[in-house]
Amino acid sequence: MSSVSIECVAREGCRIGESPVWDEKEGALLYVDITGRKVCRWSPVSRQAQAIAVDAPVSSVALRKSGDYVITLGTRFAALKWKEGLVTTITQVDKDKANTRFNDGKVDPAGRYFAGTMAEEIRPAVLERHQGSLYTLFPDLSVVKHFDQVDISNGLDWSLDHRTFFYIDSLSYSVDAFDYDLQTGKIGNRRSIYKLEKEESIPDGMCIDTEGKLWVACYDGGRVIRLDPETGKRLQTVKLPVDKTTSCCFGGKDYSEMFVTSASDGMDKEWLSRQPQAGGIFKITGLGVKGVAPYPFAG
């Protein structure tokens, strides 16, 4: 048995930390603070995070083949030039909705950017239901809507053989799978592969490891859980010192470390004083399993 250890590496305190992505070229961890309206980049060498402030809730960040990054900002897909701190809109979604924003997003193995929307929250997990949709931004910058009626569009990733797409709509308390056609980017045959237990609370961000097992961050559950998507069984639970664990990714040397983001929005003074690291970024080592490098957006 390897011994798991957990360290809070960035204590700046996000309001809603999300979308951790390892940027191998920079040797740094990218993530966003959604309601803090910041894209952040933490370096393990300087042990500091740099941040770029943006003008709307920023809910995911992804690598881009041509260099720099793409982000989901409000209801926009946008390009971000890091050095210049420059954001330019690529395209907008949910034009028929007044009160939605993007939430989690990730690039597929063919370089398409998947991201979903949700209604603006009144407070964490309290919002007008069924307002969200799941979209793909293709490398030619066209957008396709896959489905609507989503509550809180959240974690997503693809199986190692690229034939399954995993997806979380948080308020369904379920981790779902779809058949995936990598050629076209089409999804179908939705089914649930895991229902969260009560103490696991709300499923949020997710990533896959090199054994094809899923890691799901449990919002208000203070943990990440490892699931076998074939059997629907939970294989492992790793508890963290904060309740609002929001998402996870692998990074560092050979993708052998796990990074977990967390949130502090919705916590009162007493709760925050019990969990002073809320909103921090955590590094988990000793899991004995590695992750898959993130795919860059091909457009």
Ligand X SMILES: O=C(O)[C@H](O)[C@@H](O)[C@H](O)[C@H](O)CO
Q: Which residues bind ligand X (CB under 6 A)?
A: 16, 18, 34, 103-104, 121, 124-125, 152, 154, 170, 202, 204, 219, 246
Name the minimum Å distance from CB 17 to Zn ion.
Answer: 10
Q: Does 33 bind Zn ion (CB under 5 A)?
A: no
| Alpha-carbon gap, residue 230 to 160, rounded angstroms | 13
Name the minimum Å distance from CB 247 to ligand X.
Answer: 7
> Based on CB atoms, which residue is closest to Zn ion, 104 or 243?
104
Residue 228 appears among annotated catalytic residues: no
154: annotated binding-site residue? yes
90 binds, among ligand X, Zn ion, none (CB under 5 to 8 A by kind): none
The span from the first CA to the last CA of the chain, in angstroms, equals 43
204: annotated binding-site residue? yes
Stretch that binds Zn ion, among 92-100, 104-112, 192-200, 285-293 (CB under 5 A): 104-112
Interacting residue with Zn ion among 94, 104, 169, 243 (CB under 5 A) = 104
- What are the angstrom distances between the C-alpha of 104 and each of 112, 168, 273, 277, 288? 14, 10, 28, 22, 27
Name the minimum Å distance from CB 285 to Zn ion.
Answer: 23
| Edge-to-edge order in the sheet of strand 186-195 | 153-158, 164-169, 174-181, 186-195
> Based on CB atoms, which residue is closest to ligand X, 111 or 151?
151
220: annotated binding-site residue? no
Q: Does 60 bind Zn ion (CB under 5 A)?
A: no
189: annotated binding-site residue? no
Q: Does 121 bind Zn ion (CB under 5 A)?
A: no
> Based on CB atoms, which residue is closest to Zn ion, 167 or 299?
167
Query: Any residues with CB less than 8 A from the CB of 27 and at least 6 apart, and which?
Result: 43, 44, 45
Name the minimum Å distance from CB 204 to ligand X.
Answer: 5
| Edge-to-edge order in the sheet of strand 132-137 | 100-107, 113-119, 132-137, 143-150
> Based on CB atoms, which residue is closest to ligand X, 23 or 104?
104
| Alpha-carbon gap, residue 185 to 156, rounded angstroms | 14
Considering the candidates 108, 204, 209, 243, report the single residue annotated as catalytic. Answer: 204
Q: What tokens does 90 get? A: 């690529």
Name the minimum Å distance from CB 124 to ligand X.
Answer: 4
Number of residues that this document lists for the chain: 299
**3-state class (DSSP) for residue 42:** strand
Tracing tokens 């809070």 back to the chain, one arrives at: 8
> Based on CB atoms, which residue is closest to Zn ion, 37 or 299?
37
| Alpha-carbon gap, residue 93 to 100, rounded angstroms | 10
99: annotated binding-site residue? no
Burial level of 220, CB count in 10 A (0-12/13-18/19+)? middle
Q: Does 133 bind Zn ion (CB under 5 A)?
A: no
Residues with a catalytic annotation lie at 204
